[in-house]
Amino acid sequence: MSVIIEIPTPLRRFTDNRSQVEIPTQEGHTVEQVLRQVVEAHPSLQRHLYGDDGRLRSFVNVFVGDEDVRHLDGPQTSVADGSRISIIPSIAGGRR
């Protein structure tokens, strides 16, 4: 089994310019486990996905197919063979 992680343009500089990374998975693997595997394979992604507290940064969103995992089981959402996982920012900011 494996899943495909789609890497957004700004983060491709940390994945040898690859737009997709294939991650081998097993039955019952979760989004959180898959993301940890991506970061293990490409450690410089760590600080741009996770904060100092080890949690996903608040503006980093993960989609399985067309569904935001926040509307599924969050990081514990299980993935299936061939799932396409997208890492998508919510763009937040402003003065102060």
Nearer to another protein, 26 or 91 (CB): 91
Residue 21 in the binding site for another protein (CB under 8 A): no
Residue 43 sits in the site that holds another protein (CB under 8 A): no
Sheet of 84-89, strands arranged across:
20-24, 2-6, 84-89, 60-64, 67-68
List binders of another protein among 60-79 (CB under 8 A): 61, 63, 66, 68
Helices (H), ranges, 8-90: 31-41, 46-49
Residue 55 contacts another protein per CB under 8 A: no
- The DSSP call for residue 95 is -
d(CA 96, CA 78): 38
Contacts with another protein by CB under 8 A: the residue count is 26
Residues that bind another protein (CB under 8 A): 8-13, 44, 47-48, 57-59, 61, 63, 66, 68, 86, 88-96
